[in-house]
Every structure is written in structure tokens, then in C-alpha cells.
Structure 1
Amino acid sequence: MKSAFVTVGTTSFDDLIACVAAEDSLRILKNLGYNRLVLQIGKGTVVPEPFSTESFTLDVYRYKDSLKEDLQQADLVISHAGAGSCLESLEKGKPLVVVVNEKLMNNHQLELAKQLHKEGHLFYCTCSTLRGLLQSMDLSTLKCYPPGQPEKFSAFLDKVVGLQK
């Protein structure tokens, strides 16, 4: 059983939740062989109705103490572009699609997503391009992120947001 996991972290990203829970997105995931979609919706106001059929299950929750179990079970992670969520997914060796929230001002998330994509660790998109990316991406092209180097990630993040040269 293939599972996709969507996380928005501790924030709210209603556009992402609405996009990925839409019927055409669910159809794309089913066509890609996914049988389960788990949505971690944070404090958002969009709350899709969970369901289960013979061929597909949609689970929804706001928060858990840890995302570790959901990340371990996921064959694909779709995440907001928060540094913590990106790092946690990459360290677990999971294929990652980062969806950048275009409504955020001074969006350092976009810079982070672009750089990690440039290095081959993830794919990134916006809500409007997510469906197309899901249909065209080749997860086998992604490179593993070297685990256990949070200081390098921290230095990289400082450089991206302009705190270090």
C-alpha cells in the first residue's frame, strides 16, 4: 500500500490542503499508485472529510506530538516549505515535494526550496502547479540528503536568508 503524507507544520496553509484534497488531485495520486493520503492540517480552516473505500483512504488530523510515524510510513511527502519540515523529511530519506505559499511576504521559503531543488534533493511548486508536478516528476532522480548534519543545514539556511555570507 503506497501512502502520501501532506504536512503544513504548526501553521495553516489552507490552499495546499484544499488543492491536494480536491477530486482531481486524489485521482492523480490514485493513478500514481497511492492508496492512502494523510493530511496534517495544522490550524487551518479547510478540513476535508476523511473517508475510506476499497481502493483509497483519506485521513486528516491537526497535530500530533511527532510526525515520525507518518513520515516513516510515507512513500511521498508533500510539505509546506518550512525549514523544519523540509529537514525532517529529507533526513528520513523520503521523496519530497515542497509547496511554496505564495501568500507569505518576504518569502525565504522559496529561496530554501529553490536551493534544495538545485542540489537535487526535492521538487518544489506552488498550489497552482502541484497537480502538473505530481504527474511529471520522476522521484528516482532525487538525491539523498546527507543525514546527521544539522549544523550544515543551519549554516545553509543562515546563508539563504542573508544572515551569513
Structure 2
Amino acid sequence: MVKQYTKCFITVGTTRFDLLVKSIFKPSTIDALKQIGCKEITFQIGNSDFEIGKYERNGVIIDVYRFKDSIQDDMQNADLVISHAGAGSCLEALEANKPLLVVINEDLMDNHQLELAEQLQIDGHLYYCTCDTLESTLQMVDFTLLTPFPKPDTSLFIKFLDDALRVKQNID
């Protein structure tokens, strides 16, 4: 049975990413999302000029807002996360163990976000695309093939502190 992604959460973070906002509302993008089972979208649009509120597009309900104190609940409730390539948003989705599609903002200068997305895709943790390739990416990727992001190993930090304190004690 093919996995269905009924609830989708989309975030642009604190930035302005109007091209992604416009891309999501294109009928062809809505159709691509419907093909993977999407029925509900929660869409955090940041500083975009787009009007917030509830929309219905071709049977898909889209709840649009600018900002919240935390997007953690939106991520937890989602079956799929589509995000800009900000490190914070990517890590939050990966730590929540959600399938993640990152959309690169090609208008950014010195695009370090592309480097992050490329490496995380190479490591098998997410897929990335641009606004121009969003629809085709949704149609061809298999999110079930993604590898869960490893949980942090806090013992490494504790070992580092222990070693650092031991060195300091030997110096004194």
C-alpha cells in the first residue's frame, strides 16, 4: 500500500519566500500534493504579503498563518513537512522524524542553505528541490526511502567536558 500524506505542514520560517507561497497555491502543485494523499495543509508564510486565513483549493484545505511562538505542534501533526532550507526548520523536522522536502530559495545570495540541503539529501535524510521543480519532485520521490535522522548522543558532550576538566586539573 502506498503511504498517504494527508496532513502537510509547509514553512518558510521567519523569511520572506513569496515564490514558494505562490508555487504552493498553483493548481498543478495542489494536484501533485493531492496525488500523494494531501487533504489538509497548514502553511506558515512568514513575512509574505499573502493574506492569512483558510482556503480551499481543489478539495484541499489550506490554513495560512504568519507566525506562532512555536511550530512544533504543526510539525508533530503533519505527515509530511515542506520547508525552506533554514537550518533550524530542517533540524526541527528531522528531529521530529518527519519526511522532509526542502525547497531552496534561489534568490538568496551566498546560498549556504543549498549546501546544507545537498548534504542532508546525500545522507538520505531529506529531498530537496527548487520552486521550479517542486511539482515534479513531489511526483517522483519516495519519502519512505528516507533514513531517520540520528538522535544526538549527549554522552559525547559529557565525555568532552570530562576530558577537558581532567586536562585542566593536570595543568593546575
- Contact 1:12 1:42 (8 Å CA) reproduced: yes
Preserved CA contact (<8 Å) 1:8 1:79: yes
Query: Aligned runs of 1:37-76 on 2, under 5 Å?
Result: 37-47=41-51, 50-52=54-56, 55-76=59-80
What is the TM-score when the length of structure 2 is the normalising length?
Answer: 0.82
Q: Name the CA distance, whole Å, in 2 between partners of 1:48 and 1:129.
A: 25
Match for residue 15 of structure 1 among 13, 19, 34? 19
In the alignment, structure 1 residue 82 sits paired with structure 2 residue 86: yes
Q: Distance in 1 between matches of 2:105 and 2:57?
A: 31
CA-based RMSD: 2.0
Say which one has the larger Rg: 2
Does 1:115 pair with 2:149? no
Which stretch shows the higher mean deviation, 19-28 or 98-107? 19-28
Contact 1:97 1:122 (8 Å CA) reproduced: yes
In 1, Cα distance between the equivalents of 2:111 and 2:90? 15
Structure 1 contact 7–40 (Cα < 8 Å) conserved: yes
Kept after mapping to 2: 8 A contact 1:77/1:95: yes
Tell me the equivalent position of 2:100.
Answer: 96
1:43-102 C-alpha deviation (Å, 9 max, x unpaired): 112337632489421100000111011001111100000000000000000000000100
If the length of structure 1 is used for normalisation, what is the TM-score? 0.85
- Structure 1 counterpart SS, 2:39: strand
Give, in angstroms, the shift of residue 30 of structure 1: 1.3
Runs of 4+ in 1 over 6 A off after TM superposition: none
Unaligned runs of 5+ in 1: 153-165
Aligned counterpart in structure 2 of residue 27 of structure 1, from 22, 26, 31:
31
Identity of matched residues, %: 48
Q: What is the number of equivalent residue pairs in this alignment?
A: 151
The residue aligned with 1:139 is: 143
